[in-house]
A and B are shown apart, each in its own frame.
Chain A
């Protein structure tokens, strides 16, 4: 266990030395500040009486997950495999699950940090809705991360090298960003697109977070929870079969 923590700590330092990372962490925060400044957080009938930031904050949190699962997580693993880092780590007494677990750990840690920044900034500047149901929100957030990050492991298992990784990552990033309601409310899309959105896992993360945030019951969103758990199991199983260490 201490091995896992040590490896995760070192990986966290390495994550923070990656210049692209700040973009990933800062981008949703910048969106929050820009749109917060332009539109404020006044109650909006179109959004069911919530402020636009109340509505978008969960989406920005999902955006952090999408960025990490399309870029940071798979790129690091593919780079490590290509260059022989994974192979070198394998020659130590480290268990394989610790090597992968540290990548999951660092991405969860950084996403949580980014989400906290968003919530604190939203609360400080725009009085975003924060309630005692935040514990529930946190649980939904954890489930969302595990589910979305399992996609990153699958990408790392399928994509063969670092030349292809950015292409695949970028395609998936924009697909997940625009088809999940992270940027544009799904209600504004035509019906067929809304149906496609149901196949995009972050859609369910955003719906779950947006509603749990306002005290909705978990039971009402059982379908979203099942989809996220399903994605987690399918991706984790497929990754365990397809992942190559070198």
Chain B
């Protein structure tokens, strides 16, 4: 089955004077998927997306969004996309409903704004001024503003940064609902967790290039060690026996913590059996699944924390 590409990016390049923000990036985003772009701050995510949104002119390569050239045909294209920008604001004294009403008037068709307010949980804040909203409420309003015209593609830049966990989950549910309705969602985030939970496919960006692009679980399983067993030991017991176990790829000891990496469903039981067999006393044993964070670490040799 070939899927329809709504966004096609080929050899995109963007520089700011001597600084190369986007070196050479190519990818496609398919209709109806949640596509994620992750990477540390300064990796080139926002520059890439701003070129796709027609807010910046690319220095090289080509981009198509629903058939439009996003820079040359920017006004026509923007009727089809919804944008939530990372660095955006509204006039301080504008009311929530005024902002929605205003933004929706820029587009040829609009959704029911009361229903949209309800969806983002801002019905009670309808007459509140922008300046009096909390960070989370502002964020939800920006998401609503991206959806007033029922766009085919929605760009969400740092969707849940600064939101509390409960609101975060509500946002994630909203994004999933957009996908259910056949919309394409382009998510830009530096949260590996968010990308992993939400995205159908993820592009990991570093230094202006895509270093990996696939479904999150494919990326993780390709690591070769998708699980970690972590436990605490007393003293410095001999752990050589553990290294020789099948499916174990690495054993490290940091003070009294042992971190064992490996793969396969039988990993945990074979590790525990080996510990008991060799009389190694252990406590606080738990397992961790590998995450996109580990994928990033392996592909770039660095932790994503900036």
Contact = CB atoms under 8 A, between A and B. Distances in A.
B230 interface: no
Contact of A80 (B91, B93, B103, B107): B91
Given A84-B89, A85-B89, A2 B105 contact: yes
Given A3-B105, A6-B102, A87-B85, A93 B90 contact: no
B94 A93 contact: no
Interface string A94-107: 11000000000000
A83 interface: yes
Interface residues of A, number: 22
B88 interface: yes
A217 interface: no
Contacts of B85: 84, 87-88, 91
Given A91-B83, A93-B78, A83 B106 contact: no
Contacts of A95: 75
Contacts of A10: 94, 98, 102
A17 B94 CA distance: 9
B23 interface: no
A196 interface: no
Interface string B72-96: 0001101100010101111101100
Majority SS at the chain A contact face: helix
B273 interface: no
Interface string A33-66: 0000000000000000000000000000000000
A7 interface: yes
Contact of A91 (B53, B90, B94, B98): B53
A14 B94 contact: yes
B45 to A, nearest CB: 16
A195 interface: no
Interface in A65-93: 80, 83-85, 87-88, 90-93
A101 to B, nearest CB: 14
Contacts of A87: 55, 85, 87-88
A76 B94 CA distance: 13
Contacts of A92: 78, 103, 106-107
B127 to A, nearest CB: 13
Given A91-B78, A91-B85, A93-B79, A85 B90 contact: yes
Interface in A178-226: none
Nearest to A80: B91
Contact of B89 (A6, A83, A93): A83
Given A90-B55, A91-B53, A91-B83, A3 B89 contact: no
Contacts of A163: none
A114 to B, nearest CB: 20
A13 interface: yes
B105 A6 contact: yes
Nearest to A246: B87
B106 A93 contact: yes
A207 to B, nearest CB: 37
A246 B55 CA distance: 11
A17 to B, nearest CB: 4
A88 B93 contact: no
Interface in B39-56: 53, 55
Nearest to B87: A84
B80 to A, nearest CB: 10
Interface of A: 2-3, 6-7, 10, 13-14, 17-18, 80, 83-85, 87-88, 90-95, 246
Given A84-B88, A84-B89, A93-B79, 11 more contacts: A3-B106, A7-B102, A14-B93, A17-B93, A80-B91, A87-B87, A87-B88, A91-B78, A91-B85, A91-B88, A93-B107
27 contacts: A2-B105, A3-B106, A10-B98, A14-B91, A17-B93, A18-B93, A80-B91, A83-B89, A84-B85, A84-B87, A84-B89, A85-B89, A87-B55, A87-B87, A87-B88, A88-B88, A88-B145, A91-B78, A91-B85, A91-B88, A92-B103, A92-B106, A92-B107, A93-B79, A93-B106, A95-B75, A246-B87
Shortest 7 CB-CB distances between A and B: which pairs? A83-B89, A88-B88, A91-B83, A17-B93, A84-B88, A84-B89, A92-B106
